[in-house]
Amino acid sequence: MEKVKVSQDVLYQYLMEHGIKLVRLAELTGLSEASINSCFKHQLINNGTPRSFTRQAIRNMNEALEQIADTLRGLVLQFGSDQTYTNQRGATYDPALVEPLKKIGEWMNLTALVERVLGWNQRKKENVLVTRSSKAYGTVSQADATAINNELLAVAGVLGSYEVVADSNDTISTE
């Protein structure tokens, strides 16, 4: 399959829009998170040249994008555990999805994800996923799981199809 060639700026914008954690990209590329941020933001170095990724860093990044895509595909939620229940109003929830959602939060900004995809605010996210004493704790519906899965698969598909290419100007060291 032919990869879509993108600049580091296009990749950065996509990563930020979808809440991908740069710390995971840093771990997989072998670069520091500070270095990754500095390159993406084109911060100036001593001679006034904007920072950019080296060719090796770009190769590592392309491999890391594949790994992130594979990981996100592996985090797809499976609704219908033995903890699934239906409340008196007829709504069905699966509290067993709380921990898998938290695993997604290791790779993506979970607050931004549930706000964008499910329309949850910070308080609802905390009540459903964090505060065990909340009546709403664990109330993850099949529709919620499907929406999260659709987003995971869409992001994985895009990241898996991207190939970051060097900027037209010479790249400089990220070290």
pLDDT in tens, 53-105: 999 999 999 999 999 999 999 999 999 999 999 999 999 999 999 999 999 99
How far is the C-alpha of 70 from the C-alpha of 107, rounded, in Å?
Answer: 12
Task: Give CA 52 to chain center in angstroms.
Answer: 22
Q: What does the pLDDT read at residue 126? A: 96
pLDDT in tens, 111-136: 999 999 999 999 999 999 999 999 99
* Alpha helical stretches, state H, the chain: 8-17, 22-29, 33-40, 55-74, 98-104, 110-118, 122-129, 142-161
pTM of the model: 0.89
Using only C-alpha atoms, what is the Rg of the chain?
A: 19
3-class secondary-structure state, position 87? coil
Same domain (yes/no): 61, 95: no
19, 108 contact by CB (below 8 A)? yes
Q: Answer whether residue 127 is part of any domain.
A: yes
How many domains in the chain? Answer: 2
The CATH number of whichever domain residue 43 belongs to comes to: 1.10.260
Closest CA to 153 of 109, 104, 95: 104
Q: Answer whether residue 108 is part of any domain.
A: yes
Same domain (yes/no): 150, 107: yes
- Other Cβ atoms less than 10 A from the Cβ of 95: the count is 16
126: β partners = none
Q: What does the pLDDT read at residue 166? A: 84
- ∠ at Cα 100 (95, 103), nearest 5°? 140
Same domain (yes/no): 25, 61: yes
Range of the domain at 62: 4-74
Same domain (yes/no): 13, 63: yes
Listed in sequence order, the residues at least 6 apart from 129 whose beta carbon sits closer than 8 Å to its beta carbon are: 98, 101, 102, 110, 137
